[in-house]
């Protein structure tokens, strides 16, 4: 709990936008997964970089941690307090500050969501393509180095953040990057903060790379006889140099859940959802090559959706897959895994994971952005049966170890938070200690989102 002088000083900065009301604190202690934290001591809603800088000065003076909060969609506890502190909710810093169509750049505040940004960009012929599924805030997406369904063509946040404004511990404000397409001037500070999960500073502005809205779009659903056939088709598509904008895998359990939740009628077999963007002539060639490949791997029911409403319905169902899977076991909580492996190891990783889940006795539908080797198992546990959570966490640990054994990573897009903290040493070795040294240099009092991402610090 904040002492009265600290709380009074906080209200001196934010007025009634500094809240200690129980419902507000509870809202900022929630997670969409089984990862849980504690209540923050207060929640603030800044409106400017100057207010965030003043907050960072206050934090240093009163030795109170700061935890950034975007849309609250993270799954590994990134935005949860561990031992009090102030949650910094950026919902009121959600403006588009500048659009530069000729440079294909946009400057935004961190609280704007990707869907809101794309609505503002509709008349420019440009779009921001990174799509993690949830309508996440762009500041949060940068902080976690998010990716999603379109990463196979357009890249992740790492590839699409050109520059940042960041408030460091103590209140210093820095800018990283330039509007130039490239630079050789020193350390890449932008890359350092993208994926830092708020442990090095609070992002208050972003300069993002934009892409042209595609002239034509085609989406297909293809049913496969086995998981192996669907995954092998993905590997062949990527090795042949086809460039789908999206290529998503759903196993039979996920398809059944989506059918029930989103009122679809897909065959209850493994499915690929594929989307191509481009010029109509080139698109027709890509579609033809994909059709031939899919049929070689036994695909049936290859159904192309050219109308916007049909495509929207399919992708809305895919984005709702997490909620659909939860609804398939009412009252369940989810342990959401997030593995990413080299594309050559994808089939082995998925098949070994399926066998491991089948032997565990708990449900675990598999889906993912398989075009870049990233897939998830949604492990459903009954909160009234603690042994199921133990089983699920053991499954998740084995999946991470499997991913590392195959040359991959413990997380392709969800990030570390504190949910995956115990696995970092296995992936990075001494490199993890180097991350801790960077953290200590920039945040010596350990006030920026403590307990996350890096080795434990006092």
pLDDT in tens, 190-248: 999 999 999 999 999 999 999 999 999 999 899 999 999 999 999 999 998 898 999 99
216-405 domain in CATH 3.90.1570.10?
A: no
For tokens 């033809």, what's the residue?
A: 288
Residues of the chain with CATH 3.40.462.10: 216-405
**What mean pLDDT do residues 390-397 have?**
96
**pLDDT for residue 305:** 79
4-89 domain in CATH 3.30.360.10?
A: no
- Is 90 exceeded by the pLDDT of residue 147? yes
pTM of the model: 0.94
- How large is the C-alpha radius of gyration of the chain? 22
CA distance 189 to 4: 37
Confidence of residue 302 (pLDDT cuts 50, 70, 90): confident
What beta strand segments (E) does 86-145 contain? 86-89, 96-100, 105-108, 126-127
- The mean pLDDT of the chain is 94
**pLDDT for residue 457:** 72
Residue 331: how many other CB atoms lie within 10 Å: 9
Residues of the chain with CATH 3.30.43.10: 4-89
Furthest C-alpha separation in the chain: 71
- Is 90 exceeded by the pLDDT of residue 453? yes
**pLDDT for residue 458:** 62
Q: Would you give the DSSP letter of residue 267? A: -
The full DSSP string for 218-250 is: EEEEEE-SSHHHHHHHHHHHHHTT---SEEEEE
């Amino acid at each position: 709990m904040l002492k009265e002088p600290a709380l009074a000083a906080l209200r001196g900065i934010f007025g009634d936008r500094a809240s200690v009301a129980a419902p507000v604190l509870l809202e900022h202690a929630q997670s969409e997964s089984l990862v849980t934290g504690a209540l923050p001591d207060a929640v603030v809603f800044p409106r400017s970089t100057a207010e965030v800088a003043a907050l960072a000065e206050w934090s240093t003076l009163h030795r109170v941690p700061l935890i950034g909060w975007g849309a609250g969609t993270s799954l590994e506890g990134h935005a949860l307090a561990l031992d009090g502190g102030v949650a910094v909710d950026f919902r009121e810093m959600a403006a588009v500050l500048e659009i530069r169509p000729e440079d294909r750049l946009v400057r935004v505040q961190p609280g704007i969501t990707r869907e809101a940004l794309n609505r503002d960009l509709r008349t420019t012929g440009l779009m921001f393509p990174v799509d993690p599924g949830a309508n996440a805030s762009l500041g949060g997406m940068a902080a976690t180095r998010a990716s999603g369904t379109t990463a196979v063509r357009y890249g992740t946040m790492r590839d699409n953040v050109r520059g940042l404004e960041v408030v460091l511990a103590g209140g210093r404000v820095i800018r990283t990057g330039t509007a130039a397409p490239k630079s050789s001037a020193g350390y890449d500070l932008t890359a350092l903060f993208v994926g830092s999960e708020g442990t090095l500073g609070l992002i208050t502005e972003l300069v993002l790379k934009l892409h042209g809205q595609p002239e034509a779009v085609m989406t297909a659903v293809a049913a496969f006889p086995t998981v192996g056939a669907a995954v092998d088709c993905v590997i062949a598509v990527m090795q042949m140099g086809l460039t789908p904008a999206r290529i998503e895998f759903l196993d039979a359990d996920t398809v059944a859940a989506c059918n029930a939740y989103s009122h679809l009628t897909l065959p209850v077999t493994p499915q690929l959802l594929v989307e191509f963007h481009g010029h109509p002539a080139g698109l027709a060639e890509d579609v033809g090559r994909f059709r031939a490949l899919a049929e070689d791997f036994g695909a049936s029911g290859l159904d192309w959706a050219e109308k916007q409403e049909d495509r929207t319905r399919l992708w809305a169902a895919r984005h709702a897959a997490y909620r659909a899977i939860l609804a398939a076991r009412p009252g369940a909580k989810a342990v959401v895994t997030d593995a990413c492996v080299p594309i050559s190891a994808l089939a082995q990783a998925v098949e070994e994971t399926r066998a491991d889940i089948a032997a565990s006795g708990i449900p675990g539908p598999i889906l993912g952005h398989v075009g870049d080797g990233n897939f998830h198992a949604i492990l459903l546990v009954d909160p009234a049966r603690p042994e199921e959570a133990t089983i699920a966490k053991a499954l998740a640990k084995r999946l991470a170890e499997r991913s590392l054994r195959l040359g991959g990573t413990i997380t392709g897009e969800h990030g570390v938070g504190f949910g995956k903290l115990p696995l970092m040493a296995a992936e990075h070795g001494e490199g993890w200690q180097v991350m801790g040294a960077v953290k200590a240099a920039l945040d010596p009092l350990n006030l920026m989102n403590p307990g996350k991402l890096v080795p434990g610090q006092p």
